[in-house]
């Protein structure tokens, strides 16, 4: 897995469009969904550490899996198990929760 540093403590592991099944309400070009996997190791007071995978079908709808940064290895394992075409059911089975609007 190639690591990209976005900010001093924010790392991006996956940032790409992937093929999706026919069960999504919307798609990006070519019937694809956006998969974004990043982590943040908080060092500043008030910040929260996390490792998360976001799978979205447009700019306001999708699924998110978020754990503490100490669980990064577990999130990496889940990311490696996501197969294409990506289905919403597969994400539910991995523990993702649905989101609408903007994710933080």
Helix (H) or strand (E) holding 11: strand 10-19
CA–CA gap between residue 78 and residue 23 (Å, rounded): 21
Residue 73 pLDDT > 90 = yes
Residue partners of 53: CB distance under 8 A and separation at least 6:
14, 35, 36, 37, 64, 65, 75, 78, 79, 82, 96
What are the tens digits of pLDDT across the range 10-20? 899 999 999 99
Q: With CA atoms as reference, report the closest residue to 103 among 65, 48, 73, 67.
A: 65
- Return the percentage of the chain with pLDDT > 70, whole number: 88
Domain boundaries, the chain: 4-100
Quick check: 47 and 40 in contact, CB under 8 A? yes
For residues 78-101, average pLDDT:
96
For residues 43-71, average pLDDT:
92
- Can you give the pTM of this predicted structure? 0.86
Q: Return the pLDDT at 67.
A: 96
For residues 21-48, average pLDDT:
92
């Amino acid at each position: 897995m190639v690591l990209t540093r976005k900010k001093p403590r924010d790392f991006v592991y996956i940032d790409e469009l992937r093929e999706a099944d026919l069960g999504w309400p919307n798609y990006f070009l070519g019937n694809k969904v956006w998969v974004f996997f990043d982590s943040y190791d908080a060092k500043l007071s008030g910040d929260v550490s996390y490792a998360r995978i976001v799978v979205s079908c447009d700019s306001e709808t999708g699924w998110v899996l978020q754990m503490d940064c100490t669980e990064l290895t577990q999130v990496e394992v889940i990311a490696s198990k996501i197969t294409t075409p990506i289905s919403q059911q597969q994400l539910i089975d991995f523990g993702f929760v649905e989101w609408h609007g903007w994710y933080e």
